[in-house]
Amino acid sequence: MSTARTPVAVIGGSGLYSLFELAVSANRTIPTPYGVVNVTEGALGGRPAVFLPRHGTSHSVAPHRIPYRANIWALASLGARAIISTAAVGAVDPAYPVGTLALPDQYLDRTRGRDDTFFDEDDVQHLPSADPFCPELREIAKPTTDKHEATVAVIPGPRFSTRAESVALRQAGAHLVNMTLYPEVPLAAELNIGTVTLAFVTDNDATPSDEPVTAERVFARLKAAQPRIIAAIEAIAAGIPDDYRARELIDPAAVARVLARPTR
């Protein structure tokens, strides 16, 4: 008797807007309590997989407008137990040069006003968050990356940092800066989904440098790095055990109540 393989979800960051070949994939529209989400279903590493482009298929959704709760709820409703995500990041620490593929283990939330929990009604749950990314998935991902630890400061966006802000983020303990990992990561943890992120360093943020940060330069470097990033996603998906279960950080009954909410 064969063992059902863990469904994997991939959230594509800037520059990654599709993943599966058209001939072997299907588009689906998923209603959620927080709005409608469009995903593509296919396979990775011989197991069912679903792909969701974080910024839409044409990079039309700014970081502060991403429907984070809708995205994570949709993936959970499809049975996803593991999320592999990609993220474009700037470096505020020179130990992370441009072109580095890093594996974050911590984040610093510097966003404002984002809907960052499913438990904002009468059902109160407190999420343990000391180690926000799944340790098991991170071990699987380590061979695909250059740096195996990194703290990512998550800023509101869509603007890039000032030089003073870059210095302050480094002084606060950050190595990298990004606009989207919060609240995506803790929301997945609230539904007992494990996450791992491949963070590609596209620039030096606004640290003292002769090279100013521009969107054009960021997207050009992401495009050049896509083959490596996709190969890493495929390797991680293939390495996830058939019986993988994420850490149970929230009472499963509470998770079930969230997933039972009416959709719209």
Residues with a known catalytic role:
203, 205
Q: How many CA atoms lie within 13 A of 112 on its CB side?
A: 3
Cβ–Cβ under 8 Å, residues 138 and 198: no
With both helix axes pointing from N to C terminus, report the angle between 252-259 and 68-77 in degrees, rounded to the nearest 10.
110
The C-alpha torsion from 202 through 205 and 67 to 39, rounded to 10°, is: 0
Cβ–Cβ under 8 Å, residues 104 and 184: no
103 is written with which tokens? 């594996």
Query: b/e map of 113-131 (b: 16 or more CB within 10 Å)?
Result: ebebbbeeeeeeeeeeeee
Q: Which of 85, 176, 201 is nearest to 138 (CA)?
A: 85
Q: How many CA atoms lie within 13 A of 115 on its CB side?
A: 14
- Cα 94 from Cα 140, distance rounded (Å): 26
- Cα 186 from Cα 194, distance rounded (Å): 10
